[in-house]
Structure 1
């Protein structure tokens, strides 16, 4: 009786998982649709840097060399204690489209990136804003053009994709890239069906009007993280949000090199999710819980139940998953992860469960 009940639960969670992947197929098989306009909008590229003296000389040139007629770069020095400000000033002397916003520690907002970003946004002279990080490199000289081509009178928030570099023979890197891929599949899919819930700050665009409409970060200024996803929670709607997934629109960053650094990064990210809207918490939580139950019950029932019944159910699940994740990975140029999909899926679920427990025990470390 107990085994039969477990089997029915297993069938239920498998159906739930397949439904999720069918929803994700909306993104996997969609085309990147630019707005029908030939007009190049003036753009302010905003980069918030805290102790990025090493990264600025390496990555800032990829922004300066953009093939775009009119853009400024707003460099925000967020109370750095290294030579970040001096490096910014050196670049400014050689480029007249650079504006520097030097932010000193404010007692009320000490160490809060959102405070620094707010000052940078206010200083930007253009309505259309494009965000990336100081440790990011854009993959193409057409990055600004690709991202801003999705702005229109209706669409004022553009969600982009931020890749991580590939490190050979690194298990941590493989998991980082797969987790990044799966997260992107989810937030792009939710946006496609009209329920945007997050973005990545290393590749995001929106208008000043949208920022001030929701009073910036005021609703979550006390939360150190979430300048990207919590802003999307406040401002993004079905009507005003779209995605950009053309390959020239990608940014690329160096991934965490060690498991410890990845844990610290994900603890910050996952802790922010508890501030999402209830519906997003529910559907994201249901996806995780049903996947965890699928893995646990599939393992148990292969030993306790008729394997001839179990095998076709598991195969159907993985076929659907491979197709959807595979096409999504091809679109986002992350095909390496697909070859190790079952292994990565199990490892990532256990990792995320461990992060959830760790966050319950202690508070994660904030942004730099």
Structure 2
């Protein structure tokens, strides 16, 4: 019995090794990117529902972008606070701001995808750049950096949506590590020609890609997934690329309580069951092997079965994972979270298990 567990443990580490060395290294060891401005007209699209405080911070930063030709499409999704008034105020001040007002619709009530669809149709330009109302661009070169990765063939650009650093907060490190791991996964698979998701905090695509797949129609009834489910359906090797220049990042405020972050992760994870079968399997295998890597050695060490070999394998796994993730963290400016890597990884793995168990018994809450 113990021999079988040991053999399974070895298989688990081999699978993890293949993920890190074959898949994740595609991003971790990728060459630094440079921005060659394309000077193509861009429509920046922001959808907001009850985000009065956040949009007051975001809009001035969008207006100040160093880019020759762009518009800002502000979508008010039937807000009940002062969001619409803020949008109208800035629309009067800037000629390149377009306001889209979404009224409550019985068929699509509270559905962000419906609001986004109206904004996409109202956009003047063909190249669309998305961010969320609670995000801010990392630099005045955000539009330049993201749009620079467009080519004739590459019409979908996956960007990085980072979370702000909070000094002295261990929860903040956990959140940023989980975001780093997720980005390493979707960037790496995109580089391998198997893109499967992106984040609405920082995402760009040509409008024709939206209409090729009938927009969000195939998953309109699923409240979440305006970013990852769309990319899972529309993205392929030929039309998708990534952008990871620091100037291209967006930043948003992270949750400050474990309960709020847990609720957020429930929403995010709930869409994964609608991914393509290959993507569900590759994500499932990775997370199952992560969990087994933590559980199997405990049994082996309790019974002192090949404990020297077990400890050596554990050490080997942490070394290659630490190196690969360390390079990825360097690219995404998240190096500080790697100092806590073993501990944070354990917390994230068991949190994900808890999210999965909780989501099987109740549905998460989505768009406000």
TM score, norm. by length of structure 2: 0.98
How do residues 75-90 of structure 1 correspond to structure 2 at under 5 angstroms?
Answer: 75-90=74-89
Deviation (angstroms), 1:200 = 0.4
**Unmatched runs of 5 consecutive residues or more in structure 2:** none
Asked if the contact 2:78–2:102 (Cα under 8 Å) also holds between the matched residues in 1, the reply is yes
How do residues 29-48 of structure 1 correspond to structure 2 at under 5 angstroms?
Answer: 29-33=29-33, 38-48=37-47
3-state SS of the aligned residue for 1:39?
coil
Matched with 1:359 is 359
Deviation (angstroms), 1:17 = 0.6
Asked if the contact 1:163–1:251 (Cα under 8 Å) also holds between the matched residues in 2, the reply is yes
Matched with 2:141 is 142
Matched with 2:175 is 176
Which whole-Å CA distance do the structure 2 matches of 1:177 and 1:106 have between them?
36
Matched with 1:251 is 250
Deviation (angstroms), 1:38 = 4.9
Matched with 1:326 is 326
Matched with 1:123 is 122
How do residues 262-301 of structure 1 correspond to structure 2 at under 5 angstroms?
Answer: 262-301=261-300
Deviations 1:265-294 (A, max 9, x none): 010111100000000000100000011001
3-state SS of the aligned residue for 1:108?
coil
Deviation (angstroms), 1:316 = 1.1
Deviation (angstroms), 1:32 = 4.3
Which whole-Å CA distance do the structure 2 matches of 1:300 and 1:173 have between them?
32
Q: Which runs of 4+ in 1 moved over 6 A?
A: none
Deviation (angstroms), 1:299 = 2.1
3-state SS of the aligned residue for 2:367?
coil
Deviations 1:116-139 (A, max 9, x none): 000000000100000001111101
How do residues 15-94 of structure 1 correspond to structure 2 at under 5 angstroms?
Answer: 15-22=14-21, 23-33=23-33, 38-94=37-93
Which whole-Å CA distance do the structure 2 matches of 1:340 and 1:301 have between them?
25
Which whole-Å CA distance do the structure 2 matches of 1:14 and 1:326 have between them?
19
Matched with 1:345 is 345
Deviations 1:162-198 (A, max 9, x none): 0001112222211111100000000000100000000
TM score, norm. by length of structure 1: 0.98
Asked if the contact 2:146–2:159 (Cα under 8 Å) also holds between the matched residues in 1, the reply is yes
Aligned CA distance change for structure 1 residues 361 and 38 (closer, same or farther; 3 Å): closer
Deviations 1:306-343 (A, max 9, x none): 22111221111111001100000000000111001110
Deviates more, 1:116-125 or 1:87-96: 87-96
Deviation (angstroms), 1:39 = 3.4
CA RMSD after TM alignment: 1.0
**Unmatched runs of 5 consecutive residues or more in structure 1:** none
Which whole-Å CA distance do the structure 2 matches of 1:327 and 1:41 have between them?
32
Matched with 2:314 is 314
3-state SS of the aligned residue for 1:365?
coil
Report how many residues are paired: 366
Asked if the contact 1:59–1:137 (Cα under 8 Å) also holds between the matched residues in 2, the reply is yes
3-state SS of the aligned residue for 2:53?
coil
Deviates more, 1:179-188 or 1:308-317: 308-317
3-state SS of the aligned residue for 2:76?
strand
Asked if the contact 2:37–2:144 (Cα under 8 Å) also holds between the matched residues in 1, the reply is no
Deviations 1:60-110 (A, max 9, x none): 111110000000000000010001011011111111100000001100000
Matched with 2:94 is 95
3-state SS of the aligned residue for 1:131?
strand
